[in-house]
Structure 1
Amino acid sequence: MTLTAPPRLLLVHAHPDDESLWTGGTIARYAAQGVHVTVVTCTLGEEGEIIPDGLRELAADSADQLGGYRVAELRSACAALGVTDHRFLGGIGRWRDSGMAGVPANRHQRAFVAGGIEQQVAELTVILREVRPQVVVTYDAFGGYGHPDHIRAHDITTAAAADCADVDRVFHAVTSKRATEDGAAALADLAGLPFRLPEPGELPVVEDEQITTVIDIVGHLSAKLRALRAHATQISVWQDDTGGASYALSNGIAQPVVDAEYYVLARGPVEGTSADLFGGLGLPGGEPAQDR
């Protein structure tokens, strides 16, 4: 009997909760199919805004204990998604959440964006060479919505992946304009929705013409919702008894839970990528395109 290694997927995210928000359904789908999924988180999310009133004293301007609390949230989310290989870039607590652009946290001595990019690339390269993923996922050059840590994650992932021969493809996780707008419109019909409906153009999206890959996550929405709930300091999740669902960040703006997650192929062969990150790579065990 010949034993073959499973396909390997590695995702680089800036903060705890990003893995669930941007790629939770994708992670759950591939993990359920036996793909080795590695999630790398670059910071502890110390600068996040806290939703529950009872936890407000954890904030950076008070006890500054939010990062440690979010480690536990991240572990619960990874368990919900089926992730067994999670790592913090440079070790837990090495780099700190930089906050949004232009805030004092950008200048913290341990801020991710204040750290040496060469060292950060080197730390990620070590992980890539150990895991040897065929597919790597991170954000686009804008970081999805302009967060400095997302942009830095993009930069170091691009550089590290280019230096690792095992990486066949790099994808950028994005949000579909069409799916987001259709999903937001459907939220208006849900009775009892506790969040404010988004204004036109208020949610970050990309034009669908730019999207190369659509991953169907219908069979894994429950796992994604469990993972989102795990990040209770950052995300509020609402569901009704008819199957309607939405979530909101600390701004209270309703976001739809859509049936797919979307990617732009940044590097690698395009053949077979329309509905599968591994499509056309000819990996042992066949293409992991069908949900179990």
Structure 2
Amino acid sequence: MERPDLRDGIPVDLDRPLRLVAVHAHPDDETLATGVALAHHAAAGDDVHVITCTLGEEGEVIPPGLAHLEGSEALGPHRSGEVARATAALGVTHHWLGGDLPRWRDSGMVGSAAAAHPRALAGADVEEVAAVLAEQLAALHPDVVLTYDPEGGYRHPDHVQTHRVTVAALARLAERHPEVPSPRLYVALTPRSWAEEDRRWLAEHVPAAARAEEGGRITVPDADDPYPPSVVDDGRVTHAVVDGAALPAQVAALREHPTQVTVHDGWFTLSNDVAARLPAREGYARWDRTAP
């Protein structure tokens, strides 16, 4: 199934480069969820921006040499440096939501004590956060905005909240800044056929010696294991960015997030040691700004 890219429907007579903004919850999400699209558009000469909502203070730390950062106040500033280097590798401009540093804080995974923090993003008033994001979007005048689907990719509370906030911010942008053309909103989704193909690829390419059943650490998902909610029926994915030339930039950016990501040959793992493919393609769905 061939899908149009993110330029679909954008006027071809723009007197400036296409402007694309990705809104994400934590450092590393920009590269994991939308890195192919960001690198692809940056290489094409487009004006590409990332807005990150929190410092990622609750992230689990992978390298033993950096284990002292986990759970400490030093992790957020460290991840700030990671995202600065990663976005530079992608060729895009980075911003924090709300100014020089984000006003809100990483809420942690579902059930985390961090969710009770008074600045936790997941517990913040959606309209309050959306008002801040809307002003940043008004200044950037994006043609395209990218973020998570309503399930937040894998139901992380901050990802779910970021979807809500982005939708609300675009509604506020249309109301308060009618002089700014309404951008097209896309959410990141993966066609089921792609996800099935990726699992077959992992089964063939992850070395046997690295696998948990052979004494290693890596888990390769079985074909019948549940998929995250961002994996959907093919017909729900309306647009795609497929670009093998963007993969080296995505890989370089992932390597700048060592606290969160371990990069292998064509695949990567997070702190859970579950293998995931780097397939040089991303799916998106055009999202109605009036939807939740």
**Fold conserved between structures, TM > 0.5:** yes
Match of 2:148 in 1: 139
Deviations 1:50-82 (A, max 9, x none): 10011111111xx33111110111011101100
Aligned-residue Cα RMSD (Å) equals 1.7
Match of 2:7 in 1: none
Q: Which amino acid aligns with 1:53?
A: P
TM-score (norm 1): 0.84
Q: Which amino acid aligns with 2:284?
A: Y
Q: Distance in 1 between matches of 2:274 and 2:183?
A: 37
Task: List aligned pairs for 1:1-292, cutoff 5 A.
Answer: 4-60=15-71, 63-83=72-92, 85-91=93-99, 92-165=101-174, 166-190=181-205, 192=207, 194=210, 195-199=218-222, 200-204=224-228, 205-239=231-265, 245-267=266-288
User: What is the total number of aligned residue pairs between the two structures?
Assistant: 259
Q: Distance in 1 between matches of 2:275 and 2:102?
A: 31
* Change over 3 Å in CA distance of 1:153–1:191 after alignment to 2: closer
* Change over 3 Å in CA distance of 1:236–1:100 after alignment to 2: same
Q: Distance in 1 between matches of 2:118 and 2:14?
A: 47
Partner-residue secondary structure (3-state), 1:251? coil
Q: Which amino acid aligns with 2:252?
A: R
Q: Distance in 2 between matches of 1:31 and 1:157?
A: 22
Task: Kindly indicate whether the alpha-carbon contact (under 8 Å) linking 1:43 and 1:96 is maintained by their aligned counterparts in 2.
Answer: yes
**Moved runs in structure 1, 4+ residues, more than 3 A?**
none
Partner-residue secondary structure (3-state), 1:145? helix
Q: Distance in 2 between matches of 1:134 and 1:36?
A: 10
Q: Distance in 1 between matches of 2:14 and 2:51?
A: 27
Task: Kindly indicate whether the alpha-carbon contact (under 8 Å) linking 2:238 and 2:285 is maintained by their aligned counterparts in 1.
Answer: yes
Residue 3 of structure 1 deviates from its aligned partner by 9.6
Q: Distance in 1 between matches of 2:137 and 2:274?
A: 36
Partner-residue secondary structure (3-state), 2:151? coil
* Change over 3 Å in CA distance of 1:20–1:191 after alignment to 2: closer
Q: Distance in 1 between matches of 2:260 and 2:190?
A: 19
Deviations 1:87-140 (A, max 9, x none): 111131421100112221111111111222222111101111100111111111
Q: Distance in 2 between matches of 1:209 and 1:3?
A: 30
Task: Specify which structure has the higher proportion of helix.
Answer: 2
Percent pairwise identity: 43
Q: Which amino acid aligns with 1:107?
A: A
Q: Distance in 2 between matches of 1:35 and 1:266?
A: 22
Task: Kindly indicate whether the alpha-carbon contact (under 8 Å) linking 1:134 and 1:169 is maintained by their aligned counterparts in 2.
Answer: yes
Task: Kindly indicate whether the alpha-carbon contact (under 8 Å) linking 1:52 and 1:233 is maintained by their aligned counterparts in 2.
Answer: yes
TM-score (norm 2): 0.84
Gaps of 5+ in 2: 1-12, 175-180, 211-217
Task: Kindly indicate whether the alpha-carbon contact (under 8 Å) linking 2:36 and 2:246 is maintained by their aligned counterparts in 1.
Answer: yes
